[in-house]
Structure 1
Amino acid sequence: MSTPCCVSQLACCCGTAACSCCCNCCPKIKQSTGTRCMYALYFLLVTVICGIMMSPTVEQAMKDNIPFYSELCEKVNAGENCKTLVGYSAVYKMCFGMACFFFFFCILTLRIKNSIGCRAAIHNGFWLLKFIVLAGCCTGAFFIPQEETFLEVWRYIGAAGGFFFQLIQLMLLVQFAHRWNTNWTSGVKYNRMWYAALALVTLILFSIAVGAVIFMGVYYTHPEACLLNKIFLGINGGLCLIISMLAISPCIQKLQPKSGLLQPGVISVYVMYLTFSAFSSKPKEMIEIDGQNKTVCVFPFNSGSESDKKIVTSLGAVILLACILYSCLTSTSKRSSAALRVYRTSEPETERARCCFCFGDDTDDYEEDNTTSGQSVVYDEEDGTIYGYSFFHFVFFLGSLYVMMTVTNWFHYDNHRIEQLLEGSWSVFWVKMVSCWVCLFLYMMTLVAPLMCPQRFEA
């Protein structure tokens, strides 16, 4: 029983076979899905290692628990107490290796139309060999000469790549809002309950957005301090109101009859989240009250204990990583790729309204699958690819740069620790605040662009 299973796993790791689990009870998996998940696992592994490299807690634990730690570091030429394997420079090198890995496959998979062919086989198989190549790229980065010059140049390349990756995230959010509204609106003519669901969700979203404005107005402003908070809260709240009125204006409704309040509700909630996150990331302000220096404009329910900080940091890291993986995996589907090219992708007339619309696939189910032992694999790309292979790797390349900049706190990398991921710095504050405005601008353009260039957009 185990022999065929082992053979199939060896074919998965060292050959062109698609990767599958060695379990008959597992549901069928499409080759396109399995491939993307495997690359996501590679990405996740390197990201976790980068987090470990930025953690003095882990470094101290290794010193305390690994016998002959100093001698081992000297033997592998890692410096005293493995100093070259920790800190922001080590993260830059690891992410450089991962970025090179994905950029190489971005070039290798250009213009692949289906899964039949040598290059497609390399993309969908040979997982053990590709893992060795990834490990080699990350290891080789530690031997780059002229380290200071490399780190300085790579830092600015990482900032540019991280910005473009965040732009993709925001465009996906706008596309998600439009698709949600379109999908649920398509069910209104068959069942009026969908109209009630739209109204209820819209009401909840705007209630959250308004509640967030009130919350931040109470706790993140002060009569004698926090001037930036007051200005930006007013600007962001006003812009959310403007896009909401614009979405239901007669001129927009004429060209986009499906435009409603659900989309600006989604955008407003996300903008308020980014605003709250920016305020929380800003360095603390202190003013003198009754002869004592007191910190103002901070989160009111933070007890400040170390356990609370670890929980918040861990939760924030998980949410951040989930958003990155979601952006990497979903931005390469045909629907999302069309949205990223700034074309309105109208839903087919047979669009079926459903609660979990975001988990749909771009293709129909295929009946052909392999019948070997273990999990069945559906080879769904023999006639045509489900997603763009080259663009898929390019998004992961940008994701590598975004992880690098986020883990090292963007330009405030000196003496930074992963435990301080959510603590304040001006660079993080401005990144998040600019993201608010970019998100609002992108959504506004989806409303206004059909008025300016009607030939490029479908009604």
Structure 2
Amino acid sequence: MCTPCCVSQLACCCGSAACSCCCNCCPKIKQSTGTRIMYALYFLLVTVICVIMMSPTVEDMMKDNIPFYNELCEKMNAGENCKTLVGYSAVYKMCFGMACFFFFFSIFTLRIHSSTGCRAAIHNGFWLLKFILLAGCCTGAFFIPQEKIFLEVWRYIGAAGGAIFLLIQLMLLVEFAHRWNTNWSSGVEYNRLWYAALAFVTLILFSIAVGAVVFMGLYYTHPVACSLNKIFLGINGSLCLIVSLLAISPYIQKLQPRSGLLQPGVISVYVMYLTFSAFSSKPKEMVEVDGVNQTVCVFPFNSGSESDKQIVTGLGAVILFACIIYSCLTSTTKRSSAALRVYRNSEPETERARCCFCFGDDTEDYEEEKTTSGQSVVYDEEERTIYCYSFFHFVFFLGSLYVMMSITNWFHYDDHKIEKLLDGSWSVYWLKVVSCWVCLFLYIVTLLAPMMCPKRFEA
């Protein structure tokens, strides 16, 4: 029973067959979904390696536990104690290799409309060969000449690409809020319980947003310090209130009958999260209290012990990378690509209210590969592609740059460690503050879009 499964796995690694699990109890998987998951695993693998490279803790553990560590580093031409394999420059090179890999496939997969061609077969299979190519790109980056010039130029390219990826992430959030409201609102027509669900979730979202404002007002402001925090908390809180009132105003309701409080609730919670993240990323501020210098406007549960600090940092890193993977995977669906104007669908999609509306509807009938020793694979792209291959790789290319800049603390990479991912940095502080305003601006644009471009919204 194991032999057929091994043969099928070999076919997906060295051929165009789709990969699947060696377990009959696993639910069937679509070819398009499996392909995207495999690329996401490649992306996650390189990201984990970059995190390890930025961690002096891991470096010290390797010195202590690997025999003849220094001699091994010298044989590899990696410098004393493998200095060329750690730090921000190593992360820049690894992400350069990963970015080249995805950019190449973005060009290679241009204008593919079905999975039956040779290029589509390479995109959906040959995983071992593509892994070797990715490893070769990342390894080759360490042999780039003129290292100082490369790092300086690549830093600014990374900043530009990371900013574009962040913008895409914000646009997807706005699209997610509208889709959530549209999907659940469609269920109100045949079941009033969906209306209760909308009201309940909306109440929870605004409670979280208001609670966040109160929390940050108590712990991230001070009577004689933290002036910027006071200003931005007031501005962001006021803007969230304004967009909420705008969403339910009679004029907007006339333009968009399904506009409600759920969308501004989602936006408000995310803006408050970005505001909290910005305040947490702000360099520490000291004031003199009773003749003693005291740190103010810091996370209240992060100042007592080192374990609390590690928990907060780890949680922030998990949220960061989860958002990156989510954006890379969801930005290439037809609906999200239409929101980003990459793919334009001429036929309106029918909505069916579901709790898990983010996942595709499995009502379509596709040809299914019958296997006797593993997971069944549904080939759902024989007639047309489900997502844009080229744009999929381009988003991962931008995600590679965003990971590179995030791990190295953007422009403050000197002596930076992954354990200090959430420590103070003015560049990260302003980036997140501006991201709040961009997110609110994008949402306001979607509300006023029918007025600005009426012909595009005519039935």
* CA distance in structure 2 between the partners assigned to 1:336 and 1:361 by the alignment: 15
Name the counterpart of 1:190: 190
State the shift of 1:321 in Å: 1.0
Match runs of 1:346-361 below 5 Å: 350-361=350-361
SS of residue in 1 equivalent to 2:385: coil
SS of residue in 1 equivalent to 2:295: strand
State the shift of 1:424 in Å: 1.2
SS of residue in 2 equivalent to 1:300: coil
Q: Does 1:282 align with 2:274?
A: no
Name the counterpart of 2:41: 41
Note the alpha carbon deviations across 1:110-169, whole angstroms, 9 max, x for none.
000000010000000000000000000000000000000000000000000000111111
Match runs of 1:275-424 below 5 Å: 275-341=275-341, 350-361=350-361, 364-371=364-371, 373-424=373-424
Q: Larger deviation: 193-202 or 84-93?
A: 193-202
State the shift of 1:302 in Å: 2.2
* CA distance in structure 2 between the partners assigned to 1:437 and 1:289 by the alignment: 34
* CA distance in structure 1 between the partners assigned to 2:209 and 2:35 by the alignment: 38
Q: Larger deviation: 395-404 or 190-199?
A: 190-199
State the shift of 1:346 in Å: 10
SS of residue in 1 equivalent to 2:155: helix
Q: Does 1:266 align with 2:248?
A: no
TM-score, normalising length: structure 1? 0.97
Note the alpha carbon deviations across 1:331-368, whole angstroms, 9 max, x for none.
00000000112999899574221211112248724243
State the shift of 1:457 in Å: 2.6
Name the counterpart of 1:26: 26
Q: Larger deviation: 189-198 or 134-143?
A: 189-198
Contact 1:100/1:137, CA 8 A, preserved across alignment: yes
Name the counterpart of 1:253: 253
Name the counterpart of 2:72: 72
* CA distance in structure 1 between the partners assigned to 2:141 and 2:157 by the alignment: 16
* CA distance in structure 1 between the partners assigned to 2:350 and 2:51 by the alignment: 46
Name the counterpart of 1:238: 238
Contact 1:339/1:345, CA 8 A, preserved across alignment: no
SS of residue in 1 equivalent to 2:257: coil
Q: Larger deviation: 43-52 or 204-213?
A: 204-213
Name the counterpart of 1:105: 105
Contact 2:367/2:379, CA 8 A, preserved across alignment: no
Q: Larger deviation: 2-11 or 136-145?
A: 2-11
Alignment-mate amino acid for residue 191 of structure 2? N
Contact 1:253/1:259, CA 8 A, preserved across alignment: yes
SS of residue in 2 equivalent to 1:307: helix
* CA distance in structure 1 between the partners assigned to 2:339 and 2:137 by the alignment: 33
Note the alpha carbon deviations across 1:41-80, whole angstroms, 9 max, x for none.
0000000000000000000000000000000000010001
State the shift of 1:4 in Å: 1.6
Contact 2:94/2:138, CA 8 A, preserved across alignment: yes
Contact 1:344/1:458, CA 8 A, preserved across alignment: no
* CA distance in structure 2 between the partners assigned to 1:420 and 1:193 by the alignment: 46
Name the counterpart of 1:180: 180
Contact 2:206/2:265, CA 8 A, preserved across alignment: yes
Q: Does 1:151 align with 2:179?
A: no
TM-score, normalising length: structure 2? 0.97
Q: Larger deviation: 364-373 or 438-447?
A: 364-373
Name the counterpart of 1:136: 136
Q: Does 1:123 align with 2:123?
A: yes
SS of residue in 2 equivalent to 1:286: strand
SS of residue in 2 equivalent to 1:438: helix
Q: Does 1:90 align with 2:112?
A: no
Contact 2:334/2:343, CA 8 A, preserved across alignment: no
* CA distance in structure 1 between the partners assigned to 2:6 and 2:271 by the alignment: 50
Q: Pick closer, same or farther for the CA change 1:78–1:344 going to 2, 3 Å.
A: closer
Contact 2:2/2:373, CA 8 A, preserved across alignment: no
* CA distance in structure 2 between the partners assigned to 1:453 and 1:178 by the alignment: 18
Contact 1:333/1:362, CA 8 A, preserved across alignment: no
Alignment-mate amino acid for residue 13 of structure 1? C
Alignment-mate amino acid for residue 89 of structure 2? S
Alignment-mate amino acid for residue 330 of structure 1? T
Name the counterpart of 1:216: 216
Name the counterpart of 1:199: 199
Alignment-mate amino acid for residue 383 of structure 2? D
* CA distance in structure 2 between the partners assigned to 1:371 and 1:328 by the alignment: 30
Contact 1:343/1:456, CA 8 A, preserved across alignment: no
Q: Which runs of 5+ in 2 are unaligned?
A: none
* CA distance in structure 1 between the partners assigned to 2:361 and 2:73 by the alignment: 48
C-alpha RMSD of matched pairs (Å): 1.7
Note the alpha carbon deviations across 1:197-244, whole angstroms, 9 max, x for none.
111111111111111111111111111111101110111111111111
Q: Larger deviation: 397-406 or 183-192?
A: 183-192
Contact 1:281/1:423, CA 8 A, preserved across alignment: yes
Q: Pick closer, same or farther for the CA change 1:345–1:198 going to 2, 3 Å.
A: farther
SS of residue in 2 equivalent to 1:358: coil
* CA distance in structure 1 between the partners assigned to 2:45 and 2:238 by the alignment: 42
* CA distance in structure 1 between the partners assigned to 2:18 and 2:204 by the alignment: 43
Alignment-mate amino acid for residue 132 of structure 2? I
SS of residue in 1 equivalent to 2:260: coil
* CA distance in structure 2 between the partners assigned to 1:393 and 1:169 by the alignment: 15
* CA distance in structure 1 between the partners assigned to 2:125 and 2:135 by the alignment: 17
State the shift of 1:35 in Å: 0.4
Name the counterpart of 2:226: 226
Contact 1:205/1:265, CA 8 A, preserved across alignment: yes
Name the counterpart of 1:63: 63
Alignment-mate amino acid for residue 437 of structure 2? W
Give the length in aligned residue pairs: 459
SS of residue in 2 equivalent to 1:25: coil
Give percent identity, aligned residues only: 86
Q: Pick closer, same or farther for the CA change 1:362–1:390 going to 2, 3 Å.
A: farther
State the shift of 1:304 in Å: 3.4
